[in-house]
Amino acid sequence: MLDTYDSYPSWRKFQPYFPEDWRINEQNAPEEYYWKWRDFDVHIDHYKTINKPKNFKLILLHGGGGNGRLLSPVAVFFNRLGYECIAPDLPGFGLTKIHKPNSYYTWIDLVNDLIDSELEKSNMPIVLSGISLGGMLAYQVACLNKKVSGLIVTSLADTRKKSVQMGLARNKLFGAVSPLLLSKLSVLTDDLKIPIKWTTKMWAMANNSNFVNDLMGDKVGSGSWVFLKFFRTLFEASPEIEPENFDLCPLLFLQPEKDYIIPWSMSKPFYDALSCPKSLVFLENCGHIPLEEPGTDQMINSVVEFLEEL
């Protein structure tokens, strides 16, 4: 019997931290189901539209330490605007279980195939929305799939770069040593599992320290363990198209002003190099998970404008 989020109460503890009209309730709760993909049973939260659905479907992508259910405030927000939303739990997080060391390339392939699967169902154009490391994931998938109509991201951290690896790491020693060791000793390290909180600045996941404490207790999210193979492949992954040659679809970049995990300086070089139509909005007072005013209002206004112009 496959799990549902009814068996994991942690996500309910998160709801009070979200803006009131971005919370899950009985009327807007997602439909949960599993999509069989390769050897994985991929858990999906599906937020359907009832009245006058808009002409785009959004696929929401979490980063490391997240899961699809953590993106519920974003999904509820989009859904209230009339957009159908799909929020998968990527392998190793949420309710999508793994039984052997997983690779970041698996995430790319999964989202690529999920786009094709959703297009077969309705032929409704797809917009990818990536939060945290999900931003670069969205970009990499768009390069590969070429059927993405738009990108909405909160970061574009190029994890191939030493400066990004150092910036993402929990401390300078981990950032300096781990990529090299994981590459040189992959035969020994790929199968090892460590708590994700050992790897990055989990204290900066949100501006609210109580929210951060609750996040760290989420055993299918920020409190989970990760195979080192995932990090090795994350540091190695190159997009099919470098940013200076990317012109496949427009991109909206939403930069939380107080993001101390992936600050603007980390994403700026990649963003500046993009050749596609692009726009940048700084979300005032928002942390890595953007929940604070007036940034949330700025996010609403910019997303509405972006989607209506696609």
Closest CA to 93 of 129, 128, 69, 117: 69
First to last CA, the chain: 41
Asked if residue 300 lies in contact with residue 290, where contact means CB atoms within 8 angstroms, the answer is no
How is the chain split into domains, by residue range?
5-158+241-309
Asked if residue 57 lies in contact with residue 124, where contact means CB atoms within 8 angstroms, the answer is yes
Asked if residue 310 lies in contact with residue 151, where contact means CB atoms within 8 angstroms, the answer is no
pLDDT value of residue 177: 63
Residue 222, phi then psi, degrees to nearest 5: -70, -15
Write out the chain's pLDDT in tens, 310 residues. 899 999 999 999 999 999 999 999 999 999 999 999 999 999 999 999 977 788 999 999 999 999 999 999 999 999 999 999 999 999 999 999 998 999 999 999 999 999 999 999 998 999 999 999 999 999 999 999 999 999 999 999 999 999 999 999 887 666 666 777 788 888 898 999 999 999 889 999 999 999 999 999 999 999 999 999 999 999 999 999 999 999 999 999 999 999 999 999 999 999 999 999 999 999 999 999 999 999 999 999 999 999 999 9
Q: Which fold has domain 5-158+241-309?
A: Rossmann fold (3.40.50)
Distances (CA, A) of 238 to 39, 51, 175: 24, 41, 19
The shares of helix, strand and coil residues in the chain, as percent rounded to the nearest 5, are 45, 20, 40
pLDDT value of residue 178: 76
Distance CA 249, CA 238 (A): 19
Question: Would you give the DSSP letter of residue 233?
Answer: H
Distance CA 178, CA 185 (A): 10
Q: Beta strands of the chain (E only): which ranges?
A: 31-37, 40-47, 57-61, 84-88, 126-130, 148-153, 193-195, 225-227, 251-256, 278-283
Angle CA 204–209–210, to nearest 5: 135
Distance CA 122, CA 236 (A): 35
pTM over 0.95: yes
pLDDT value of residue 213: 96
